[in-house]
Structure 1
Amino acid sequence: MTQTTTTPKPTSSAIPANPLVRFLRATEIDTRLLGMVGALILIWIGFHLYGELVNGNGAFLTPRNLWNLSVQTASIGIMACGMVLVIVTRHIDLSVGSVLGFCAMIMGVLQVWVLPDYLGLGNPLIWIITAICGMALGSLIGAFHGWLIAYRKIPAFIVTLGGLLVWRGAAFLVARGETISPVDSTFALMGGGPYGSVGAVGSWIVGLLACAGIVWMILSGRRQRIRFDFPLRPVWAEWFLGIVGCGLVIGSVLLVNAYPWPKGIVAQYAQAQGIEVPEAGLFISHGFAYPVLILVIVGIAMTVLMTRTRFGRYVLAIGGNPDAAELAGIDTRWMTVKIFALMGFLTGLSAVVASARLNSATNSLGTLDELYVIAAAVIGGTSLSGGVGTIYGAIIGALVMQSLKTGMVLIGFDAAMQDIVVGVVLVLAVYADILYRSRTK
């Protein structure tokens, strides 16, 4: 007797009936990312409508507010990129706000009290030396924390909690609580503002380069899938991702170019350049601010580090199972030192942006930033259990946190209510992470 065989039909799990599920699988869009973006949009629309209904003036969804929001997000977003690595490896860093304040005070002393005496006031090397010293100092502090954690076996919570107190006190002792200002004029450009932006033409150049990068990533990814015989996304999905990505970039360019310089600064600029201002006024676009471009560069570099290098693979391996990673030959202690040194470097870079934006160094700079940085990472999908986290998620999480702060200020919430809301959001984000992990097991 001959045995007949039939080809099994695809099961419902192989071909989902739900169009949304089929769409998400075809495009490979992260559902958690989609949820965060949806929550961010709801927050923006909610605050704008509240302003319209209560104050008769919805100020949230305006070019001015969204431009300022992007600049305010930069400092927290830069540190959140480093906090992802720290939390993924099952550690925590409570000292980032104090380290930021200490680095900012040291940089303030250097560029206001020390370097002008040796190099001359306004010397172009002042801001370069100051920024390098700030980032180097942050790296050394982070490496010291990592050494205590890895080689002296002190829990990260205790080390960084002590660092929170030590470096805040050290920041006060540097200048006995004085505010050091103004900072070097070139250094101040790193904080944004009319002169700390690339303008309309520069923004279009950045936008076109970003669009070219998106197209290259899609084509390169498809070639890599073909090379290693991995499943391919449908062509329509590739087109969809490319169009949406380029559309978001072009929309961002149009948005930042729609925010003009203030009239007073335009008048000063026109007078200095010998330009006659017409009766209707002179429209000069801000464009992308330098802090935003710094955040984008950090985000891209950290994403490449996490996904394309051995270092990133080691970080995820340690977070998944530290004992197994050590047995596999990974030097987990040295990796811990490097991770905290990287966190310190990004904190020093954030100190550059924060003090430049404030145009001064104050003892209170960075206060409670550790709360917002950790919250940004957790809201962005980084699991406190370790092993899971993305850089882009942390940046979106930072944008969510800053949107909440900005929105509450616009509608008149006092500081106490702002703290309550941030605390509730942080707890809900951790609870959502627990539910998500329990459902995906």
Structure 2
Amino acid sequence: MGSGLGKFIKTLQLDTRLLGMIGAFLLIAIVFNIATGGTFLTPRNLFNLTLQTASVAVMATGMVFVIVTRNIDLSIGSIVGVVGMVMGLVQAFWLPEIVGFGSPVIVIVTVLVGIGLGMLIGGLQGWMIGYLMIPSFIVTLGGLLIWRGAAWWVTRGTTVSPLDPTFVKLGGASGTIGVTASWALALSGIVATIWFLIHTRRKHISHDFAVKPVWAEFALGGIMVAAIAGITAVINAYEVPTRVLQRRFERAGLEMPEGYTEAYGFPISVLIVIAVAIAMTIVARKTRFGRYVFAIGGNPDAAELSGINTRMMTVKVFVLMGGLAGVAAIIASARLASAGNDLGTLDELRVIAAAVIGGTALAGGVGTIYGAILGAFIMQSLVSGMGMVGVDAPFQNIIVGAVLILAVWVDIVYRRKTGEA
């Protein structure tokens, strides 16, 4: 039976590391679900897990590129903090005096300022690493201290609140798209998945590449379609509490119909993660920039001799990482509906752990976007589950640290056995 399953996985050309991570998540989920009396796997908790994971998942996609090029970024948590504080000032104090409270311009400008500032900081650090040849560990360790101090300095440690109501929806806690739009999105994803499988098969055949048996294509497509539909069904199963619906009807001067229910659907922050994941996957696999990133990680000297400007590529990678930190700051501050100078504290460790657990090699050259996102979800599930069963925070850190070390060791063993090391 074991050999049959192995043959089935090999025929479908499934990523065994991805299957291992899915298995690890299922094991964590089952254990915590039993320990919490069935609470962990409820639609409400899974919905909250996606909200809590979103900002780290966005940054983890950028950290893949950073680590693949044999660098590290310890400053991203502090960048989230300073960007969040600046965005708080922009939308709560500066712009309302110019365009008035509630103007749609506030959200647009705030988002552009946040992403732009993150890219500027990332570019500055990338320039020091690429052109001044200062090790990334030192530059970003200094950045961790500098930008955390700057986050406090922006408002002298005062928390900025409340934020613009429209901006707050980007965090997902109060911004969802509803059941109908969620199923429409899922249907679009299913159609895109089927098209991608058909297109890839035809392309391989046209180039005389080996292809999977037709039944394997149908099986793989069925698995992916079932996954999309299943995730959507779980998210749409989380209903808006009755008291919240009643207050909404009361504010509108209406009486809520008896038996009326409504579900949240996908949070906007999750849609941002999906968009970032798709964009970063395309960049990694289909663009010259992505090929250069992995070429540099595989062999920096050979990449430079082949004509790749490795110094400028380093700057670009850190600009991208800074921009994604800006996106994460948008999600994190919007979810909390406030901007405090402690925003993003320890996020750098969570993001690095997510990328490594997701299969990104610290030696460089190897990493996947989907692996990093799944790694972020596994990390958050572990932390959230321990919190639900009453594990003390210090012991949580011990367990998370041990899991990180175990994940790296497993990755090393895997690469030795598969000949990747």
Q: TM-score band, normalised by the shorter chain?
A: over 0.9
Give distance in 2, aligned partners of 1:45 and 1:21: 24
Which shows bigger deviation, 38-47 or 259-268? 259-268
The match for 1:384 is 362
The match for 1:232 is 211
Q: For residues 366-422 of structure 1, what are the alpha-carbon distances to aligned partners after superposition, in whole Å with 9 as ceiling and x for unaligned?
A: 000001000000000000000000000000000000001110111011211111111
How far residue 429 of structure 1 moved from its aligned partner, in angstroms, is 1.0
Give distance in 2, aligned partners of 1:402 and 1:343: 21
Give distance in 1, aligned partners of 2:363 and 2:34: 37
Equivalent AA in structure 2 for residue 167 of structure 1: W
Give distance in 2, aligned partners of 1:380 and 1:204: 28
Give distance in 2, aligned partners of 1:438 and 1:279: 62
1:95 aligned to which of 75, 79, 83: 75
Which shows bigger deviation, 157-166 or 195-204? 195-204
Q: For residues 245-282 of structure 1, what are the alpha-carbon distances to aligned partners after superposition, in whole Å with 9 as ceiling and x for unaligned?
A: 111111111111111112332122222445431344x3
Equivalent AA in structure 2 for residue 229 of structure 1: D
The match for 1:366 is 344
Cα root mean square deviation, aligned: 1.1
Equivalent AA in structure 1 for residue 310 of structure 2: T
2:234 aligned to which of 246, 250, 255: 255
Question: What secondary structure, in the 3-state scheme, does the structure 2 residue paired with 1:362 have?
Answer: coil
Question: What secondary structure, in the 3-state scheme, does the structure 2 residue paired with 1:382 have?
Answer: coil
1:428 aligned to which of 392, 400, 406: 406
Alignment of 1:130-169 (within 5 A): 130-169=110-149
Is 1:303 the equivalent of 2:288? Answer: no
Which shows bigger deviation, 341-350 or 23-32? 23-32
The match for 1:39 is 24
The match for 1:80 is 60
The match for 2:261 is 283
Q: For residues 82-113 of structure 1, what are the alpha-carbon distances to aligned partners after superposition, in whole Å with 9 as ceiling and x for unaligned?
A: 00000000000000100000000000011011
Q: For residues 303-331 of structure 1, what are the alpha-carbon distances to aligned partners after superposition, in whole Å with 9 as ceiling and x for unaligned?
A: 00000111111011000000000000000
* Structure 2 unmatched ranges of 5 or more: none
What count of residue pairs does the alignment treat as equivalent? 418
The match for 1:14 is none
Question: What secondary structure, in the 3-state scheme, does the structure 2 residue paired with 1:287 have?
Answer: coil
Q: For residues 129-184 of structure 1, what are the alpha-carbon distances to aligned partners after superposition, in whole Å with 9 as ceiling and x for unaligned?
A: 00110000000100111000000000000000000000000000000000100100
Give distance in 1, aligned partners of 2:334 and 2:62: 21
The match for 1:316 is 294
How far residue 126 of structure 1 moved from its aligned partner, in angstroms, is 0.3
The match for 2:86 is 106
2:394 aligned to which of 413, 416, 428: 416
Identity of aligned residues (%): 54
Give distance in 1, aligned partners of 2:329 and 2:73: 16
Change (3 A) 1:252 1:275: farther
The match for 1:50 is 35
Which shows bigger deviation, 259-268 or 350-359? 259-268
How far residue 62 of structure 1 moved from its aligned partner, in angstroms, is 0.1
Question: What secondary structure, in the 3-state scheme, does the structure 1 residue paired with 2:183 have?
Answer: helix
Equivalent AA in structure 1 for residue 90 of structure 2: L
Alignment of 1:116-131 (within 5 A): 116-131=96-111
Give distance in 2, aligned partners of 1:20 and 1:246: 21
Structure number with greater Rg is: 1
Question: What secondary structure, in the 3-state scheme, does the structure 2 residue paired with 1:277 have?
Answer: coil
Give distance in 2, aligned partners of 1:172 and 1:25: 53
Change (3 A) 1:273 1:209: farther
Question: What secondary structure, in the 3-state scheme, does the structure 1 residue paired with 2:36 have?
Answer: helix
Question: What secondary structure, in the 3-state scheme, does the structure 2 residue paired with 1:18 have?
Answer: helix
Q: For residues 54-73 of structure 1, what are the alpha-carbon distances to aligned partners after superposition, in whole Å with 9 as ceiling and x for unaligned?
A: xxxx2101000001101111
The match for 1:59 is 39
Equivalent AA in structure 1 for residue 105 of structure 2: L
The match for 1:208 is 187
Give distance in 1, aligned partners of 2:171 and 2:34: 30
The match for 1:246 is 225
Change (3 A) 1:115 1:297: same
The match for 2:3 is 18
Q: Where in structure 1 do 4 or more consecutive aligned residues deviate above 6 Å?
A: none
Give distance in 1, aligned partners of 2:129 and 2:358: 25
Question: What secondary structure, in the 3-state scheme, does the structure 2 residue paired with 1:121 have?
Answer: coil
Question: What secondary structure, in the 3-state scheme, does the structure 1 residue paired with 2:95 have?
Answer: helix
